[in-house]
Amino acid sequence: AKKLGKNNYKLFTPEIEDKINNELKIENQLIESLKNDQFVLVFMPAYTAQEKVLTGYEVLLRCPNLANTSVGPDIFIPIAEKTDLILMIDLWVTENAFIKLKELINKTGFKGFFAINVSSKSLRNDDFYVRLKALIKEYDIDVTQIELEITETCLMPDDYQAIESLKQLKSLGVSIAIDDFGTGYTSFNQLVNYPLDTLKIDRSFVQSLGDTAAGKKPTLDIIYELAKIYELEVIIEGIETKSDFEHVQKLPGVTVQGFYFTKPFQWEEVISLN
């Protein structure tokens, strides 16, 4: 506590107080958005690098109630993760992604995948598994069209509980991807313990392509080669330039995402493109 004079104690500095007030405001907006169904989904396409064929979409959350304050999911998701709000948000995203997927299949015969981000807290919550299972049934979802993305930083070494949770989700028939790979603690020899289908290499490895010393193999390529040894699909995100794209086109079989191709699509664009 900060001493302000005789018997006057303040628990927090003004900076911390601002931060708490701001987080509370964001939390309230998230609760409002859930209650009034005011969240929106946008869709980041994924393509095969070689033929540039669309393989599917990553579903990303937007909160229009916060948009004017330029608070994106990078800020509001970690705030939601501090409370149980994230579970309800992940379920909202999952259900609405299912609704959109059904619509897209009905309108266009879409056969690609939808990738849904699942937070670490939901992964560890049995309710998420139970609700997901019920939603798959309710919407009659072909599970082979669903991939769940779990951020690598939420997996600690020898985290048997997380492994069990992943196996449980995987038993539903969905695919499992590790997101932001290379930013967490997973060593390659641990990968065999996870029931994985896909490695999503973090975009920082694309950004550092240019820093590679002459004659040295970029870290991106090394991760790619190891992923192939483990027979994992590879998605490389954060392709922003032509030279990024030309580089990853030399890695057989990879799938790519990034602003070089497009910003995330609004739903109307997804419908008109397929």
Neighbour tally for 129: CB within 10 Å:
17
- Residue 129 binds: one of Ca ion, ligand C2E, none (C-beta under 5 to 8 A by kind): none
Token pair belonging to 60: 């990303």
Angle between helix 14-35 and helix 73-81 axes, rounded to 10 deg: 90
Smallest gap from Cβ 211 to ligand C2E, in A, equals 17
Q: Which segments of 49-112 are extended strands (E)?
A: 54-62
Smallest gap from Cβ 195 to ligand C2E, in A, equals 20
Contact status, residue 90 vs residue 135, Cβ threshold 8 Å: no
The C-alpha atoms of residue 46 and residue 57 are separated, in whole angstroms, by 6
Q: Does 269 bind ligand C2E (CB under 6 A)?
A: no
Q: Does 60 bind ligand C2E (CB under 6 A)?
A: yes
Q: Does 259 bind ligand C2E (CB under 6 A)?
A: yes
The C-alpha atoms of residue 2 and residue 221 are separated, in whole angstroms, by 51
Contact status, residue 251 vs residue 224, Cβ threshold 8 Å: yes
Taking CB under 6 A as the criterion, which residues in 120-139 touch ligand C2E? none
Q: What burial class does residue 116 get, using C-beta atoms within 10 Å of its C-beta: 0-12 exposed, 13-18 middle, 19+ buried?
A: buried
- Residue 259 binds: one of ligand C2E, Ca ion, none (C-beta under 5 to 8 A by kind): ligand C2E
Among 33, 65, 119, 198, binds ligand C2E (CB under 6 A): 119
Contact status, residue 153 vs residue 184, Cβ threshold 8 Å: yes
Among 44, 49, 141, 254, binds ligand C2E (CB under 6 A): 44
User: Which residue ranges make up the site for Ca ion (CB under 5 A)?
Assistant: 117, 149, 179-180
Among 15, 37, 51, 74, binds ligand C2E (CB under 6 A): 74
Smallest gap from Cβ 115 to Ca ion, in A, equals 7
120 or 215: CB nearest Ca ion: 120
List contacts with ligand C2E (CB under 6 A).
44, 60-61, 72-74, 77, 90, 93, 117, 119, 149, 151, 179-180, 203, 237-240, 257-259, 264
